[in-house]
Structure 1
Amino acid sequence: MRFTSQTTANGVSERPFTVDGVPGVLWSPADATAPRPRPLMLLGHGGGQHKNAPGVLARAHRYVARFGFAVAAIDAPGHGDRPRTAHDEESFAQLRRKMAAGEPVGALIAEDNAARATQAVPEWQAALDALQHLDEVGAGGPIGYWGVSLGSMIGMPLVAAEPRITAAVFGLVGYDTLTDAATRITVPVQFLLQWDDEIAPREAGLALFDAIASPEKTLHANSGRHMDLPRFEMDGDERFFARHLAGRPAPTTVA
């Protein structure tokens, strides 16, 4: 792992890094210097986004400031600071054409994202190996994964394959390509579903939730389309991870 810079704001240290050429970011408490096993959150961004997307950045700062977690994100293949192949460009162009024409895009997204997940899972595991060697993270602490849409397409096979991850939030997916991974996930899961999702229809999302083998799994369903996930679900995610990674209730938010 090679760090390229460091900035600190409001008690949160931000350190961009690369692992085997894959760019990422680590956020941690500014005073996190002593060796310790610290809870670690892995954040998966959505399609067309990147490791510093506003939603990723907001979550990272909240988990560090409110819970003292370390948080990491990496760019998915073909996203952010990673180069795009000719195949990437054609896939993105085809997706834009179909969306502009009002045509269904779920099958195209599922095929494209499944290929990206095959590459991204070992990249996440390499990043996790490196992160656990850092003093501000340490080995043996609880690890959570949060990611919806593309973040779930990558996150579900990652969690299925990675025994170090102890709790996860998924959602906005419902593709058959994820069924096998779902049947191998046994950690606590919170699943987010948009009732009117035009990309991952509710029936497919419900079937995928049903396939998850976790003894503890919770479904959060909200009205709205794919991009209409309510902001208040962030509070629910925090309560979930506070319980499973920190072993305590989330702090109460005062309006």
Structure 2
Amino acid sequence: MRSLQFTAASSSNGLIERDFTVGDIPGVLWSPASRTTAGPAPLVLMGHGGGNHKKHPAMSGRAQRLVTGCGFHVAVIDAPGHGDRPRTAYDEAEIAELFRARAAGEPEGPIVVRYNDHLAQLAVPEYRATLDALQELPEIGAHGPVGFWGINMGTAIGVPFVAVEPRVTAAVFGQHWPDVLAEQAKRITVPIEFDMQWDDEHISREEGLALFDAFASKEKSLHVNSGRHKELPRFEADSAVRFFARHLTSPGTVAAPA
């Protein structure tokens, strides 16, 4: 098992933020500055979007909601070739091809699907190793509830991760193509909340619905909003927090999120 090492810590706005490494994987763990109940608290692992990093405002904003609203722990690791991790020649070539297609007005989907699948093959074992290490912490524990939250590239990594990881008991996904992920989604039976944009210029309605339909979960909710790819409403983050509060806690163990 790879050991977890904390490398920096700070505290503000009710959160403790701790940078860590698991082997050579850099990550961040947000935890409540004070606990209102004794014992371990649920953990939500998150996956960041393509071209972003573990402390992107979308990640820290979602963590703030989960930590201060629910008393959860939240962790994110940098995906391969992102954040504090160096890019390989393959990363550089795929990114250049994406920018070329974008400038030419060509579809981005085939490139993103291929590249994200490559990253997922590397990242899934890293997330499993990170979960192993985090569950060694007494404030999280080996048997507590675990959720996963990832949109866009976070879905590309999260779907294959949740498909093979029985410790994850609820997940929020969205905004990705079904090409590679649909077969893996068929193996997922935990509760799912899924976001898509009705006017997404990259992912068609049919593609978004196909991925949602592929999940084998008996409980799954489809959240569709008008707007383009990058216009996912911020209130969907609040909905995701309520979703995790329902599925990762017993009644009365945490305060209801605002």
Same fold (TM over 0.5): yes
What does residue range 1-255 of structure 1 map to in structure 2 within 5 Å?
1-31=4-34, 36-248=39-251, 251=256, 253=258
| Cα distance in 1 for residues equivalent to 2:37 and 2:144 | 14
Letter in 2 for 1:251: A
1:3-57: CA deviations, max 9, x gaps? 1011011221100011120100001112359983310011110000110000100
- Asked if structure 1 preserves the Cα contact closer than 8 Å seen for 2:117 and 2:156, the reply is yes
State how many pairs are aligned.
Answer: 253
- Asked if structure 1 preserves the Cα contact closer than 8 Å seen for 2:69 and 2:257, the reply is no
| Cα distance in 2 for residues equivalent to 1:157 and 1:148 | 13
- Asked if structure 2 preserves the Cα contact closer than 8 Å seen for 1:33 and 1:135, the reply is no
1:148-203: CA deviations, max 9, x gaps? 11000000000000000000000001222001111000000000011121222110
| Cα distance in 2 for residues equivalent to 1:138 and 1:121 | 21
1:77-100: CA deviations, max 9, x gaps? 111000001111111111112112
- Asked if structure 2 preserves the Cα contact closer than 8 Å seen for 1:78 and 1:85, the reply is yes
TM normalised by structure 2 equals: 0.94
Moved more, 58-67 or 150-159: 58-67
Listed as ranges, the gaps of 5+ residues in structure 2 are none
| Cα distance in 2 for residues equivalent to 1:32 and 1:214 | 33
| Cα distance in 1 for residues equivalent to 2:49 and 2:195 | 14
Listed as ranges, the gaps of 5+ residues in structure 1 are none
- Asked if structure 2 preserves the Cα contact closer than 8 Å seen for 1:34 and 1:135, the reply is no
TM normalised by structure 1 equals: 0.95
CA RMSD for the aligned pairs?
A: 1.7
| Cα distance in 2 for residues equivalent to 1:126 and 1:185 | 20
- Asked if structure 2 preserves the Cα contact closer than 8 Å seen for 1:243 and 1:250, the reply is no
